Amino acid sequence: MSATVATRPAVVGYPRYQVPVGEYRAFREQGFLVVRGLVPAADVAELRAHTEDLMQGRLAEQMAQSGVDAPPAHLSAAEKAQHFVRLHMLHRKLALHERYLLHPRVLDVLQALIGPDLLALQTMLFLKPPGREGQGWHQDTYYIPTHPDTLCGAWIAIDDADEFNGAMWMASGSQVEPVYPSSAHGYGNKVLADLDRVERVSDMDDRVNGLAPIAAAYPHVLVPATAGDVVFFGGHVLHRSKPNSSAHRFRRAFVSHYCSARSFTDWGRDDSRGDPAANGCVDPATGMTNGSHILARGDTHLPYAQPRFGTPCAAVLTPAQRRAESAYNARPHLDSGSPGASGY
């Protein structure tokens, strides 16, 4: 008897992306996957134009001083373009960032890689102007723990990225490593008997970054990307980027993180949501912050947030609609009269 799995119909303008078995295997074997051309050219153009305006302080939200940082007005256009390196969590302030956090084609791939029920956690806009440094070896779950451990990043290339302007590097296969703890703030697996602490995680200097010797045991793979490509990578895989050594090229990317909506997290609290007298969206008994994050796809038994700007996603559906859409609830139910129910 085969299960009938509920699948999302195509969203208007976005044909559903179905992950081939080869891409699924590549993600499991390497810890990362590049899906070429996943984001349409028109969307990339919109992201690029928005990023240019943001870099120059031309967004209405910046000019109105409504909580979105702007470069100092006295800077030249060239100096403004160099002012920001990256901007965090703007999906809580800008509708466009919420839309790309919840981009249907990105969510299609994530459902295949980490499961049908998705919680959208974080956004970062990386600008990386010419001459700026990259980031040393690190594991994203060190910064954003989830339990069960289901973290996955999605890196949308706004510009073409290569070895000259600071594309990412992956330690291919290192997703099998545990998350290494350090004495600094950050998550790490502290219950394994022989797991050493590492220091200076994310430091560009491999002589002091404690993850560099671990990354050295794996092939270092450059991950070039063309605008519109999306790089998916698990929370354990060791990765880095090198400086942008080009003369005039930016390396801009819109990066989001997700986990299973059935995983617990205590990361990323949003005190502007919920009842301030009840500590915002933080569960006082457990420290859970799931109520700060948006239910992107599927269903969950845990708290979640609504999209601030009304972007279509599972959070805006009724409970019945969510159950119908979630593959978790589309499995066959075995009882004493079902074939194989007592075959243990």
Q: SS3 of 35, please?
A: strand
How many other C-beta atoms are found inside a 10 Å radius of the C-beta of residue 41?
10
Q: What is the DSSP letter of 5?
A: -
In whole angstroms, how far apart are CA 228 and each of 88, 116, 225?
21, 24, 8
Whether the predicted pLDDT of 277 surpasses 90 = no
> Is 79 a domain residue?
no
- Please report the pLDDT score of residue 65 as a whole number: 84
Min mean pLDDT across 22-26, 165-169, 321-325 is at: 321-325
d(CA 234, CA 146): 12
Q: Cβ distance 255 to 126 under 8 Å?
A: yes
> Is 69 a domain residue?
no
> Is 7 a domain residue?
no
Q: Where are the beta strands (DSSP E) in the chain?
A: 32-35, 86-88, 118-126, 135-138, 152-157, 168-171, 220-223, 230-234, 239-241, 253-260, 294-297
> Is 259 a domain residue?
yes
d(CA 296, CA 36): 22
pLDDT digits (tens, 9 = 90+) for 70-89: 999 999 999 999 999 999 99
> Is 62 a domain residue?
no
Q: What is the mean pLDDT of residues 174-203?
A: 92
In whole angstroms, how far apart are CA 338 and each of 1, 184, 206, 327?
10, 53, 58, 20
> Is 342 a domain residue?
no
Min mean pLDDT across 13-22, 170-179, 222-231, 335-344 is at: 335-344
- Please report the pLDDT score of residue 184 as a whole number: 82
* Residue 223: strand pairing partners: 168
> Is 2 a domain residue?
no
For the record, the structure tokens of 308 come out as: 């601030």
- Please report the pLDDT score of residue 11 as a whole number: 62
> Is 64 a domain residue?
no
Q: Cβ distance 154 to 106 under 8 Å?
A: yes
Whether the predicted pLDDT of 32 surpasses 50 = yes
pLDDT digits (tens, 9 = 90+) for 107-125: 999 999 999 999 999 999 9
Whether the predicted pLDDT of 331 surpasses 60 = no
Average confidence score pLDDT of the chain: 90
Domain of 158, CATH number, reads: 2.60.120.620
Number of domains present in the structure of the chain: 1
- Please report the pLDDT score of residue 281 as a whole number: 82
- What is the domain extent for residue 123? 21-50+84-330
Whether the predicted pLDDT of 17 surpasses 90 = yes
Q: Cβ distance 69 to 87 under 8 Å?
A: yes
* Residue 122: strand pairing partners: 257
Whether the predicted pLDDT of 1 surpasses 50 = no
Higher-scoring residue by pLDDT: 7, 169: 169
Q: What is the mean pLDDT of residues 13-37?
A: 96
